[in-house]
Every structure is written in C-alpha cells, then in structure tokens.
Amino acid sequence: MTEDEKTEPTEETGAATDTAADSTAAQAQTEAKADAEAPEIEAPETETPETETATEQKDGQDAEAAPSVEDRLAETNDQLLRALAELENTRRRADRDRAEALKYGAASFARDMLGVADNLQRALNAVAELDQDTLPDAAKSLLEGVAATERDLIASMGRHKVSPVSPMGEKFDANIHEAMFEAPGTGQPAGTIIEVIETGYMMDERLLRPAKVGIAKDE
C-alpha cells in the first residue's frame, strides 16, 4: 500500500470528526436557546397553618360584618313602623291644629269687639242712676237702643262661645282675675271680690281677657 492510500482515510476520518463536533455544538446551542425561551414554572404557594388561621379569621369577620336576610328584614320593618308612627303623630297634630283653628279662629276678632262691649256697658252705667221718668222720650229711645245693641252684641259673642266673666262676690282666682286693689274693713273674707272694675271674657276654655277686680283684705 502506498503512502497516498494511507493518507486518504485519515483525511476522511478527520472530516467526519469535524462534522460530528459541529453537529454536537449546534445541538447544544439549540438546547440552550430552548431552555432560555421556555417559561419559568412558578412553584405553588404552600399554605402554612398561620395562613390558614388568618384566612379563616378573615372569612369569619366577613360573615359577621355582612347582615343576614332576617336582620335586614327586621331593620326594614322597624324603619317602616317608625315611619308609620311619625305619620300618625303628624296627622294627629294636624287634626288638633285644625280643631283649635275652628274653635279659636275668631279669637282676635272677639278680643277686638270687647272694647265695643265695654263702651256700651259704660254708657248704660252712666245713665243708670238717672230718673228715667224725667228723661225725654228721645233720650229714653236712645237708651233702649243702646241696651238692645249691648244685648245683641253679647248674644252674638255667645254664639261663638264668648262669655263674660263678672265674678262679683266670688273667690279671687289669679288665672282669670286681675287684682287692681285690696280694701280692708269690708266685712268680707280675705280674697273675696268686692268690686268688678272691668268685665272679663272667656272664649270656650281660653281666657280672652281677665276681669279687673278689687278684693277684700284682712284687717
């Protein structure tokens, strides 16, 4: 065998070796690239006993914080009952105010008419001591007209439940009487009304004006 024949197999062997090495390197690069591109797998979280206890406590607090359906119904029912009670109270107040308006709506007008009644009464008292027989017929007719006007006025006020308070001889009551003076030596018990200076008036159960009176005093 010649030297040329021995050399040829060696060269072929070297070329095969180089090819195998290149193939191995390429495969290694491919595997490294695949490992780099592969997504990282996260390790699952492991629940410790402390974590489980905290989770259970949080769930328990959430359950306590959230009201049940029965609690919500009870609260709604309570709010409804309160609203109905308030509505009923408002209706009753409105009825009471309306009744008082109907009963005492004319109180201001009646109070203004008291001055008219006082003037008529003063006019009649002024001529009460005169001898009616000596008066001319015109004067007598005038006095009769004044007296009739006073009677009609008192009757008209009476139809609206306005009544006079003339407490002569009664016991003094500070709620409906106004003491103007005290007089000793009257022979009456202390606190007895001995004179009515100005007639008082009531409207139903409400005082329009107290009666101005004089009362007896102890010796």
Contacts of 27 (CB under 8 A, 6+ apart): none
- How far, CA to CA in Å, does 109 sit from each of 98, 162, 189? 18, 11, 38
Do residues 205 and 182 make contact, with C-beta atoms less than 8 angstroms apart?
no
Position 130 pLDDT exceeds 50: yes
Residue 2 binned pLDDT confidence (cut-offs 50, 70, 90): very low
- Greatest Cα pair distance in the chain: 197
Position 121 pLDDT exceeds 80: yes
pLDDT in tens, 54-80: 566 655 555 556 778 888 888 899 999
- Listing DSSP states for 146-169 in one string gives HHHHHHHHHHHHHHTTEEEE--TT
Query: How far is Cα of residue 93 from the mean position of the Cα atoms in its chain?
Result: 12
**pLDDT in the model for residue 193:** 93
**pLDDT in the model for residue 4:** 47
**pLDDT in the model for residue 106:** 81
- Residue spans of the domains in the chain: they are 105-217
**pLDDT in the model for residue 17:** 47
- Size of the chain in residues: 219
pLDDT in tens, 153-208: 999 999 888 999 989 999 999 999 999 999 988 888 889 999 999 999 999 888 99
Residue 25 binned pLDDT confidence (cut-offs 50, 70, 90): low
Specify the CATH number of the domain 105-217.
2.30.22.10
User: What does the buried/exposed string (b/e) look like for 169-191 if buried means 16 or more CB atoms within 10 Å of the residue's CB?
Assistant: ebebeeebbeeeeeeeebeeeee
pLDDT in tens, 73-120: 888 999 999 999 999 999 999 988 888 777 777 888 888 899 999 999
Position 34 pLDDT exceeds 60: no
Strand, helix or coil for residue 219 = coil
